[in-house]
C-alpha cells in the first residue's frame, strides 16, 4: 500500500508531500498542479515497469512505431522545477508489516545537451538502507549494498530494477526489491475512451486497458461467477436509471465478444447504445471487481460524466472496496457533490493543491489540517466549502501568515 508521495523540485512543486490512503481525493483549481501529481506517479510506474529514464520521460515505442508508453506530459526540460539542478521523488509504502521508502533523484546529463541521469537513489526498509546509489563523480556509477558491497550499474536505468534482475547478488536483495517494483508497476491510470469501451474484444483478453479496452471480456470474467455477476448487476441498477437484471456477452461471426445489458422488461441494450455515464460506471466496476485488479487506480476527474444524484453511490462503492484492502483509488475532482459524499476516513486523505499568488510554486495541504476544517465540514458540508472557495482562502491566509512570521 502506498502511504505518501514527496515531490522535490518536480514541475511546480518545491518540496511537498501528498498523504495517500485507501481512497485519496485531490482538489484544486485548474493549472494548480493536480495533473503534475499524476505525472509523478506515472514516473514511478515507469520505474516499476523496468524502463530507462529516456523511455519514462520521452516514451517507449515498438519496432512498428506504436507507443507502448506515453511520454510524461509536457516538455522534457520542464520536468525539473525552473532553475533547479535536479528533481526528486520519494514514495512511502507499507509492505505487509514493514514500512519502506524509495527515493530517486534525477538531473540533466552533465556533458550533453539532452538526456537525464540518476544522481541519487535509495531503498529503505524501516530505518535500514537496503541499497544506496550515492552522489559520486560523473564517471563512477555503482550502488552500495547494506553489507558494504559495491555493484556496478548502468547509468540510464534505476538501480531498483537492475538489482532485482542482477545475478551478482543473492536472493535476499531480489526479495527486498520485488515487492516495491510490483507496487510501482501495478499502478493504473484509467482514462476511459467511449469508443474503446464500446468495442467488442477477443476471448481471453481479460486485462482492462487504460482507455477501457477489453471491457466486455473483463466483465464476462466477473460474471462467470454467478454471485459476482449479481453484485455487478445490482450496482448497475443502483448507479444508473436502467433496471438491469444481468449482462450478456454474445459473440459475433468473427468470434469477438460484445456487451449487452439486459433489462427486466426483456429489452437488451448494446454497448453501442448505452449512455456514456453507464459505460464509465462499468469501467470503474470492472476495475474494482475484475480478476486482474491492480493495487492502485488513478482517475482524473472521477466524477466526469456521472450524474450528481448518483455520485454518492459510486463514492460509497469505492470506499467499501478500498476498506477491504488490496486496492487503492486516487482521484482528482472539481465536484462539490463528490466531496460532500466522502466518509471520515476519506476526508482525512483529502488534500487541496493550490498555487499562491506571489509565486508559481504549488503547495499541497491536507484539508483536515486547515483551520477549523472538521467543525466547518460538520456544520456546512465539504462540498459547500469547496464551492465557496474556502479552501484556497484558508491556504492563502495561513501560508501568508506563516511566511510573514518567518520573515520577522
Contacting residues for 141 by C-beta, under 8 A, at least 6 apart: 133, 152, 153, 154, 155
Beta bridge partners of 260: 248, 270
- pLDDT, tens digit, 9 for 90 and up, residues 378-399: 999 999 999 999 998 898 888 7
Binning pLDDT at 50, 70 and 90, where does residue 400 land? low
DSSP 76: G
User: What's phi and psi for 332, nearest 5 deg?
Assistant: -95, 155
Nearest to 371 by CA among 354, 385, 388, 355: 385
Which helix H or strand E contains 338, and what residues bound it?
A: helix 336-341
Which helix H or strand E contains 406, and what residues bound it?
A: helix 390-407
Q: Quote the pTM value.
A: 0.92
Rounded Cα–Cα distance for residues 285 and 276 (Å): 14
Nearest to 131 by CA among 93, 94, 170, 96: 170
Nearest to 141 by CA among 167, 165, 162: 162
Rounded Cα–Cα distance for residues 255 and 200 (Å): 9
Q: Mean per-residue pLDDT for 133-139?
A: 81
Residue percentage of the chain with pLDDT more than 70: 95
In 136-207, alpha helices (H): 159-165, 171-185, 194-198
Nearest to 385 by CA among 342, 323, 322: 342
Rounded Cα–Cα distance for residues 312 and 367 (Å): 20
- pLDDT, tens digit, 9 for 90 and up, residues 40-97: 999 999 999 999 999 999 998 876 556 688 899 988 889 999 889 999 999 999 998 9
Q: Mean per-residue pLDDT for 10-36?
A: 94
Binning pLDDT at 50, 70 and 90, where does residue 406 land? low
Q: What is the mean pLDDT of the chain?
A: 90
Rounded Cα–Cα distance for residues 55 and 197 (Å): 28
Rounded Cα–Cα distance for residues 283 and 252 (Å): 22
Q: Does the pLDDT of residue 401 top 80, yes or no?
A: no
DSSP 72: P
Note the pLDDT of residue 408.
Answer: 46
Rounded Cα–Cα distance for residues 300 and 4 (Å): 18
Q: Does the pLDDT of residue 402 top 80, yes or no?
A: no
Domain boundaries, the chain: 2-13+33-186, 194-293
* Residue 188 near residue 285 (C-beta atoms within 8 A): no
- pLDDT, tens digit, 9 for 90 and up, residues 161-211: 999 988 888 889 999 999 999 999 999 999 889 999 999 999 989 889 889
- pLDDT, tens digit, 9 for 90 and up, residues 210-269: 899 999 999 999 999 999 899 888 988 888 888 889 999 999 999 999 999 999 899 999
Amino acid at each position: 500500500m502506498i502511504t505518501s508521495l514527496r515531490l522535490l523540485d518536480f514541475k511546480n512543486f518545491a518540496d511537498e508531500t501528498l498523504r495517500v490512503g485507501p481512497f485519496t481525493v485531490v482538489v484544486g483549481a485548474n493549472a494548480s498542479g493536480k495533473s503534475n501529481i499524476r505525472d509523478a506517479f506515472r514516473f514511478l510506474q515507469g520505474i516499476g515497469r523496468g524502463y530507462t529514464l529516456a523511455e519514462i520521460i520521452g516514451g517507449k515505442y515498438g519496432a512498428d512505431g506504436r507507443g507502448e508508453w506515453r511520454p510524461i506530459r509536457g516538455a522534457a526540460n520542464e520536468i525539473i522545477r525552473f532553475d533547479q539542478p535536479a528533481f526528486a521523488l520519494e514514495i512511502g509504502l507499507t509492505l505487509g508489516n514493514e514500512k519502506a521508502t524509495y527515493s530517486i533523484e534525477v538531473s540533466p546529463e552533465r556533458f550533453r545537451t539532452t538526456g537525464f541521469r540518476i544522481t541519487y537513489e535509495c531503498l529503505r526498509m524501516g530505518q535500514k538502507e537496503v541499497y544506496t546509489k550515492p552522489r559520486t563523480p560523473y564517471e563512477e556509477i555503482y550502488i552500495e549494498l547494506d553489507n558494504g558491497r559495491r555493484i556496478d550499474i548502468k547509468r540510464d536505468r534505476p538501480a531498483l530494477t537492475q538489482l532485482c534482475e542482477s545475478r551478482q547478488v543473492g536472493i535476499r536483495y531480489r526479495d527486498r526489491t520485488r515487492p516495491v517494483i510490483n507496487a510501482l508497476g501495478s499502478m493504473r491510470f484509467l482514462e476511459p475512451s467511449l469508443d474503446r469501451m464500446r468495442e467488442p474484444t477477443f476471448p481471453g483478453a481479460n486485462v482492462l486497458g487504460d482507455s477501457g479496452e477489453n471491457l466486455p471480456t473483463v466483465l464476462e470474467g466477473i460474471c462467470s461467477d454467478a454471485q459476482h455477476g449479481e453484485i455487478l448487476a445490482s450496482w448497475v441498477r443502483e448507479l444508473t436509471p436502467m433496471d438491469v437484471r444481468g449482462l450478456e456477452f454474445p459473440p459475433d461471426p468473427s468470434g469477438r465478444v460484445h456487451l449487452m445489458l439486459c433489462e427486466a422488461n426483456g429489452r437488451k441494450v448494446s454497448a453501442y447504445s448505452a449512455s456514456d455515464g453507464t459505460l464509465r460506471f462499468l469501467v470503474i466496476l470492472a476495475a474494482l471487481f475484475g480478476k486482474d485488479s491492480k493495487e492502485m487506480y488513478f482517475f482524473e476527474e472521477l466524477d466526469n460524466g456521472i450524474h450528481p444524484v448518483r455520485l454518492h453511490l459510486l463514492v460509497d462503492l469505492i470506499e467499501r472496496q478500498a476498506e477491504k484492502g488490496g486496492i487503492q483509488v486516487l482521484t482528482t475532482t472539481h465536484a462539490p457533490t463528490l466531496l460532500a459524499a466522502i466518509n471520515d476516513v476519506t476526508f482525512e486523505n483529502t488534500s487541496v493543491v493550490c498555487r499562491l499568488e506571489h509565486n508559481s510554486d504549488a503547495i499541497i495541504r491536507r484539508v483536515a489540517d486547515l483551520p477549523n476544517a472538521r467543525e466547518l465540514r460538520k456544520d456546512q458540508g465539504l462540498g459547500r466549502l469547496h464551492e465557496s472557495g474556502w479552501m484556497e482562502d484558508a491556504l492563502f491566509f495561513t501560508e501568508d501568515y506563516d511566511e510573514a512570521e518567518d520573515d520577522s
